[in-house]
Amino acid sequence: MYKTKIFSACALIILALLFVATACSSPDSGPTDGKEAADKTDAADLAEKAPESYTPNLPDKKFGGYEFRAIVCTNNVFGYFTFDTGEESGEILDDAIYRRNRFIEEKYDILLTQTAIEDFWQLEGIFKRSVMSGSDDFDVCLQIDRYGYNLAVEGYALSADRLPYLDITRPWYSGDINETFSVGNKTFIAYSDECLHLYEASAILVFNKKLFGDLGMENPYNLVHSDKWTYDKFFDMCREGVFDVNGDGKMTDVDRYGIVCQDDQLLSSFWVSAGVQSIVKDADGMLVLNIENNDKLLAMLEAGRQGIFGGPKLYFNAQVDKVDTLPNDNPRDQSLGQFMNGLALFHGASVGRIPHMRAMETDFGILPYPKADAGQERYYTRVGGGFPKMVPAHAPDPERTSIVLEAIAAESKNSVMPVFKEKNLMTKHARDDESAEMLDIIFDNTVADLGDVMFLDIRDAFNNEMRNNGNFVSLIEKKSASFQKIIDKVNASAANLE
């Protein structure tokens, strides 16, 4: 069964997620027509390709038709937030979620429903008001990670440890990311494969394959596999991609750049993709500020500053740079438009933005962010701003909630994730092995730094200094005490929770 309510001043349509990741075996190779076959792929067929089936360790219970209510949002600028779909429509990701939910409903005798709010900024207030009033308005509510984390630390939301049937050691949970969001012995966010947006929040670089071919550049896929995909190589390519299109001697929004995006998408990746964490844990799992005397952090901040801002202009940020000709008033969409129109070699984006590139006529490919150097052990994929579902602290039946969430998480591993990954390989022009390999690298190496996704004062201070004076040692000396106070407050709040 299905029920959706829209809280909006106007009628909104939840956009179907159409992932398109064009990636040919060489940057200048021509397009092939793989779209029609890809679009006809059935969700059930894809789910059957899963290598094994996962079974949660749950009691055999029935809940007498209980309505399990989720609040999500319709704004899909950042990704795919659908919890339930009304019917099978032929859109394979929606169909996979539909079949998953009907399976769970039948097994546990429940009714899964969603209420769709217009914008995610409203969700924190909805959550807090419900808890403070003691109202039983929902079972789970979507939150951007930093809000969900604070809700849990402040006692508005239940930590995963207080949901008895959640087993976050199982393979349908993102262990490394969830550990990052823990404090002490408490797990405040439990990302599972139900939360597709965790993967959509993965930072990527997309590149214009035609420009790579026209400029005679090395095959970037080969660079990734040979561990030669480094920031030095990336900056060299960005410089080579710059071109004064109209020949007026000025670089404006009509000219071509090495990379287009926003600071919060690009600059933080310089340290996170190098494996650097601005906040770590002590032996007791409490948060520790890790920015003083951190030579690698300083090195990556300086490398990013020099590579992006230390020479001729190669980076256009529609949020900062003057925009005269780009349509739309959303900087992210303006940057995307520049890339789609051939005015950038690279675009810094997240996996969840790929559907917005469907109209791009030129082939593009997907890459992980580079390594700091060839000696780095592995690639690191920065995850920024995922959307977990949180359980209110006054939930009347945490056992029931945990059983339903665990069942949905396991079944998502079985039947939704294979479809989701295949959707990422659907393309207007081609589907190939390189696309799958890059996405595997991206998804298999996700990490989060709390100084980037939770404590935005840290991220913003570094990004601003990178763009401006570059005096990182002085910045750290001035700001460490205030950063430490914020972290101490979180540690204290977590320690005081039951």
Give mean pLDDT, residues 109-137: 92
Among 3.40.228.10, 3.40.50.720, 3.40.470.10, 3.40.190.10, name the CATH number for the domain at 203-382+446-496.
3.40.190.10
- Is a pLDDT exceeding 90 seen at residue 439? no
CA nearest 157: which of 140, 137, 176?
140
- The residue type found at 146 is R
Which residue in the block uniquely carries the two structure tokens 């409903």?
105
Read off φ and ψ for residue 158, nearest 5 degrees: -75, 135
pLDDT bracket for residue 336 (50, 70, 90)? very high
Q: From residue 408, how far is each of 67, 107, 462 by CA, in Å? A: 15, 11, 39
Burial class, 114, CB count within 10 angstroms (exposed 0-12 / middle 13-18 / buried 19+): buried
Q: Tens digit of pLDDT for each residue in 66-107? A: 999 999 987 656 667 788 888 898 888 899 999 999 999 999
As a whole number, the mean pLDDT across the chain is: 87
Do the strands 344-350 and 257-260 form a parallel or antiparallel pair, or are they unpaired?
A: parallel
Among the residue ranges 1-5, 7-11, 246-250, 358-362, the one predicted with the least confidence is 7-11
253 close to 269: Cβ distance less than 8 angstroms:
no
Q: What is the DSSP string of 324-336?
A: SS--SS-HHHHHH
CA nearest 456: which of 263, 308, 259, 190?
263
Among the residue ranges 101-105, 149-153, 220-224, 349-353, the one predicted with the least confidence is 349-353
Q: Tens digit of pLDDT for each residue in 269-293? A: 999 999 999 999 999 999 999 999 9
Which residue in the block uniquely carries the two structure tokens 């007791």?
284
The span from the CA of 469 to the CA of 466, in Å, is 7
* Annotated domain spans of the chain: 4-199+385-431, 203-382+446-496
CATH code reported for the domain at 4-199+385-431: 3.40.190.10
Query: Which element (helix H / strand E) includes 67?
Result: strand 66-73
Q: What is the DSSP string of 197-234?
A: HHHHTBEEEEEEHHHHHHTT---HHHHHHTT--BHHHH
End-to-end CA distance of the chain: 37
pLDDT bracket for residue 49 (50, 70, 90)? low
Give mean pLDDT, residues 400-409: 98
Q: From residue 12, how far is each of 96, 356, 389, 484 by CA, in Å? A: 22, 17, 22, 43
pLDDT bracket for residue 57 (50, 70, 90)? very high
- Is a pLDDT exceeding 90 seen at residue 208? yes
The span from the CA of 200 to the CA of 421, in Å, is 11
Phi-psi region of 470 (alpha: psi -120 to 50; beta: other; left: phi over 0): left
- Is a pLDDT exceeding 90 seen at residue 392? yes
70 close to 141: Cβ distance less than 8 angstroms:
yes
CA nearest 404: which of 72, 139, 82?
139
Among the residue ranges 3-17, 34-48, 377-391, 442-456, the one predicted with the least confidence is 3-17
Give mean pLDDT, residues 439-455: 93
Give mean pLDDT, residues 403-430: 81
pTM of the prediction?
A: 0.85
Supply 155's token pair: 């006692």
- The residue type found at 208 is N
The span from the CA of 310 to the CA of 258, in Å, is 14
Among the residue ranges 36-50, 252-266, 289-303, 340-354, the one predicted with the least confidence is 36-50
Give the helix, strand, coil percentages of the chain, each rounded to 5.
Answer: 40, 15, 45
Among the residue ranges 193-207, 286-300, 349-363, the one predicted with the least confidence is 349-363
The span from the CA of 444 to the CA of 197, in Å, is 15
What residues have CB less than 8 Å from 411, skipping those under 6 apart? 100, 103, 104
Give mean pLDDT, residues 429-453: 82
- Is a pLDDT exceeding 50 seen at residue 11? no
Q: From residue 159, how far is each of 112, 140, 197, 388 by CA, in Å? A: 22, 12, 20, 12
CA nearest 271: which of 297, 291, 295?
297
- Is a pLDDT exceeding 50 seen at residue 497? yes
CA nearest 408: which of 183, 82, 90?
82
Strand partners, 202: 383
Q: What is the DSSP string of 419-466?
A: HHHHHHH--SS---HHHHHHHHHHHHTEE--HHHHT-HHHHHHHHHHH
CA nearest 339: which of 26, 18, 22, 15?
22
